[in-house]
Structure 1
Amino acid sequence: MLRSNILILLQLLGIQSYSVSDYYWRDYDGKIPPDAIPADNNNNTYIGQVYVHLYGLRVGTIIPGYREVEYSCYGVGKTDTMIKILCATESSKYVWLRTTANTFLKDTCGKSPIVSGYDRVCCGSGILNIGRTRQQGRSIIGNVAAYNTVTLWFYYPLNGREIRDPPNTEYEVLVYRNTTSKSNYLNEYKNFDLLG
């Protein structure tokens, strides 16, 4: 329980845990900062983080020009206050890894999925990662329930409902890559989508 509270405090203060230290959350005021990590190749969507009272930190899709973020949290919510946007010194160090709820642990073994928030309601160790799907011609950001060691479900908002696809449905998780050689990168991350 103490470890869980420390993680929440670190996230709220903008201090990053794990070995990834070059990403951070900036206050979002409706303008996209130049160091924001895009959620797609066209810079049409970005990754937002919101605090949901009594539930914890969640992520959702930021669309340039809009101040409101829609997120999933035991249903769907929207907010235009207390929004942060994911930024990094080098966005090229972040890639989308294809996975499923059933294969997440195997697919991310040795990788660094980005911690996006915390679910206070679940089992007491509710770490969330950043997930992405493509629906209705657009990228949608949601929460990967990384605290479940059996099936790591991906939850996202769509048409006013919270969606959890069947366990074999493919989604993507944002991971950090710290590979300096292009040939090493191509071999190690051949199943990744470069922020695409």
Structure 2
Amino acid sequence: MSVTADTLSFIQQAGQSIDAARQALVEAVAQQGQLVASAVVEQPFGAGNDKLFAQWKTLARLAQEVQSIEEQFKTIYETASALKAREIQVLAALPHAPRHRPATRGDAVDEAIIKEVIVKTKGARKLPKRSNGKVSANAETSTQALAGNHATVLDFLRTQLNRKSWKPLTHATMAKGSGIPAGSVGASLARLKKDGLILTDDKGAYKLA
């Protein structure tokens, strides 16, 4: 069974819910940390401090586990998107079914028209140029293959980043700036990093490749 648009939408909705859960847990960890700090200051040897600290550790572990699940969903969404795109390309390349009737002059005209059909990529985008003014073959191939949310996020990042310095950006900022759901940002970033169009560090900062 192929990946349909509905299936892709369900995966995207699940990813958005997981992202919302992760953000809620991160906020809960921060709040619990404040409670622990206040309790230690007010009563350094209070009987309830150990319990508060244990709850804080549990919340932090939950946040990490949900983040791990979110990363898995990013991969799932990206893979499903690729399958859907591949299905469309295969269908477009299928030959016409043989006609069960004698060939006519009209058939010859139809075949001529079919041969002249050229599938053009919609929304062609300018390719990133290097300092010497040349465009790398990898960048050209990656940019032409981008579509949908991936291309939208890349357009936004090009308005915010450069190749010289790192700039921290959150998923929420990218979602708001590019106009796509927050749950879809991760999959687009993974694709852009895989194609070598952006770079990221372990502190949540980005720059153009």
TM-score where L is the length of structure 1: 0.29
Higher helix share: 2
Higher strand share: 1
TM-score where L is the length of structure 2: 0.28
